[in-house]
Structure 1
Amino acid sequence: MESEMKYIYTIYQKGSFAKAAQSLYLTQPALSIAVQKVEARIGMPLFDRGQKPLKLTSAGEIYIEKIEELLHIEKELQEKIQDLSDLNTGNIKIGATSYFFSYILPPVLLEYQKQYPNVQLDIVENGAYELKKMLLDKKIDLTFVSRPAKEPNFKNKFVFQDELVLAVPASFPVNEALSSFSMTSEEVLRSSPASHPAVDLKAFSDTPFVLLKSTYDLRHRARLFFETAGISPAVRMEASQMATLYALTEAGIGASFISNRIINKPSPQCLFYRIEHPEAIREMNIVTNRHCYLSHPVEKFIKLFVDYYQKK
């Protein structure tokens, strides 16, 4: 990238001339002069200097958009050259939710680093909606979704299914009449919830729940569970991560819907129930941008991930 583009992109990232100058090891006056030369050449300002942090003008938005396109071309060129040399080097940017990073990815990341120690793995943790936007903007190489992405720019690769179960504090009185349906954590660890009878969620109409916020796919599924059962239970608390829901349930605050894969050790504080509903089964997919070149390191990561979970 040419110096002037680098300067302008850094200002955009940092939000001020002072922070950008410090990052670029330039004086602020020198940086300002460099930007003014670009603005004089194109005949309009790139930044609204009256805003703090700085905001882009319409011309600035176009300029940054084209810089990011150039950055993507440079990245793709570097990846293709590396693939020709077959040196097993490079960089992968993996986007995932905290659930994936905490419970799904660690064994695959460990094995990948053993096999390809010269490939740099960069992880980006965010919500599923934000990650899909980052993938569309070519800021990450791949991400994961709990239902196939329908957008035409995305390519899905099915990997495995997980099952949502109802977790209920063991201290809640509702459990007493449902002993033939409840599972302990040990039972969930030993066998699939599918081998147990499903509970009727109507039994939990007066049970307080802790749920993910309304923008999350899991909250949408919970709403469908309640609608099918014809109940509207109280939502005592909302959270942003499934692991937080589980912790709140273990603490006795409310029932929650969690993946069976999050139950990885005995938890006497909870009892678990299978849900008979199509939305209780989630299809986990790796998603890539179909308009982006997949480097050899990315392809090898996808293959390793798929092989690991489809052989389990």
Structure 2
Amino acid sequence: MDLRQLRYFISVAEHRSFTKAASTLHIAQPALSIAIKKLEASVGLPLFDRNERQVHLTHEGEVLLPHAYRILQHVEDASTEMAELRGLQKGEVRVGVPGMLGSYFFPSLLMGFKSKYPDLTLIVVEAGTQSIRQMLLDGELDIGVIHSQDVPATLETTHLISSQMVAVTSKDHPLADVKSMSFDDFFKEELVMFKKGYFHREFIDRICVERKITPHLSFETNLLAMILNIVRHGFAITALLEMVTEYEPSLVPIPFEEPVILDIAMAWRKHGYLSLADRAFIDFIQQNK
């Protein structure tokens, strides 16, 4: 097998179609089919079931697919490292950050990093922690900010911050004057929450499962600004990191009776290649957080 065949194999597996894969790869479909047949011949196993209108991986193809991803990622890592040694690129950092931290914790750090390393390129992706974890594993991100719980064994982490999760209401809400809030009282209210995949939604879902509670979810969104506006206008309450309310004077933070402390970490692939730019970013954040 060769790298070109593996790239073709991955594309067909992702699109489940020779026609769509050929279009994406900008090659003729017959040439793609021939390359896949050569790959199957080289491994001595069928990789695709072509009996249906939609192409599906065989069991053998499913076994090969993660290996193919890793092989191509290793090749990309090697190319990046060799290019750095030749001095052919200035460097790029691809980092994934959840919405709350991206809005309130990271801006000054990112600007400070850019000031210190003006020739490095920063690509910042906002997403939920589940999506960030998966993008790290898939090699789409170099570094990601994730919840410290349930970290895959293939990721390396370093502690970033610990922050309290609090209930958040408007100043005019009937609960705004309470000193602390029970989970039962919180879940009796109309709620606005991030969609599944964000760490504060993971916390909410876990509490609901543990206590067999069905929450009153009036709004779900991945837009932090929308959540803040909905709470500000009294349509619902939510739960956010306490740091958010430090910057939002129109919102009231209410600690839970059972304190909720979330540990947040920076993560990267344990056996992946970290460029000089990536290492500079990790070092800078650790020193200035």
Counterpart residue number, 2:40: 39
Counterpart residue number, 1:246: 228
CA distance in 1, matches of 2:139, 2:31: 32
> Partner of 1:173: helix, strand, or coil?
coil
CA shift digits 1:255-303 (9 cap, x unpaired): 21112333465554x4332445441x32221122322232211111112
Are 1:288 and 2:268 matched, yes or no? yes
Contact preservation (8 Å) 1:148, 1:285: no
Structure 2 counterparts to residues 1-16 of structure 1, below 5 A: 2-16=3-17
TM-score, scaled to structure 2: 0.78
> Partner of 1:254: helix, strand, or coil?
coil
Q: Which runs of 5+ in 1 are unaligned?
A: 182-197
CA shift digits 1:61-108 (9 cap, x unpaired): 233333222212212322432454566633433223233333333333
Identity of aligned residues (%): 22
Counterpart residue number, 1:170: 171
Counterpart residue number, 1:107: 108
Cα gap change, 1:7/1:137 in structure 2, threshold over 3 Å: closer, same or farther?
A: closer
CA shift digits 1:188-210 (9 cap, x unpaired): xxxxxxxxxx4243894654333
Contact preservation (8 Å) 1:88, 1:116: no
Counterpart residue number, 1:305: 285
Are 1:273 and 2:254 matched, yes or no? yes
Contact preservation (8 Å) 2:131, 2:197: no
Contact preservation (8 Å) 2:95, 2:142: yes
CA distance in 2, matches of 1:232, 1:60: 42
Which of 218, 224, 234 is equivalent to 2:200?
Answer: 218
Q: Which runs of 5+ in 2 are unaligned?
A: none
Give the Å deviation of 1:51: 4.6
Give the Å deviation of 1:224: 7.8
Give the Å deviation of 1:128: 1.5
TM-score, scaled to structure 1: 0.73
Counterpart residue number, 1:18: 19
Bigger mean CA deviation after superposition, 295-304 or 75-84: 75-84
Give the Å deviation of 1:35: 2.2
Cα gap change, 1:57/1:101 in structure 2, threshold over 3 Å: closer, same or farther?
A: farther
One-letter amino acid of the structure 2 residue matched with residue 253 of structure 1: F
Contact preservation (8 Å) 2:136, 2:268: yes
Which of 259, 265, 272 is equivalent to 2:241?
Answer: 259
Cα gap change, 1:12/1:91 in structure 2, threshold over 3 Å: closer, same or farther?
A: farther
Cα gap change, 1:135/1:215 in structure 2, threshold over 3 Å: closer, same or farther?
A: closer
Bigger mean CA deviation after superposition, 16-25 or 251-260: 16-25
Counterpart residue number, 2:180: 199
Cα gap change, 1:80/1:272 in structure 2, threshold over 3 Å: closer, same or farther?
A: same
> Partner of 2:161: helix, strand, or coil?
strand
Counterpart residue number, 2:162: 161
Q: CA RMSD in A?
A: 3.6
Contact preservation (8 Å) 2:245, 2:252: no
CA shift digits 1:138-180 (9 cap, x unpaired): 44322112335554433221222333232113333344xx2xx
One-letter amino acid of the structure 2 residue matched with residue 258 of structure 1: L
Larger Rg: 1
One-letter amino acid of the structure 1 residue matched with residue 218 of structure 2: M
Are 1:209 and 2:191 matched, yes or no? yes
CA distance in 2, matches of 1:138, 1:297: 16
Bigger mean CA deviation after superposition, 294-303 or 92-101: 92-101
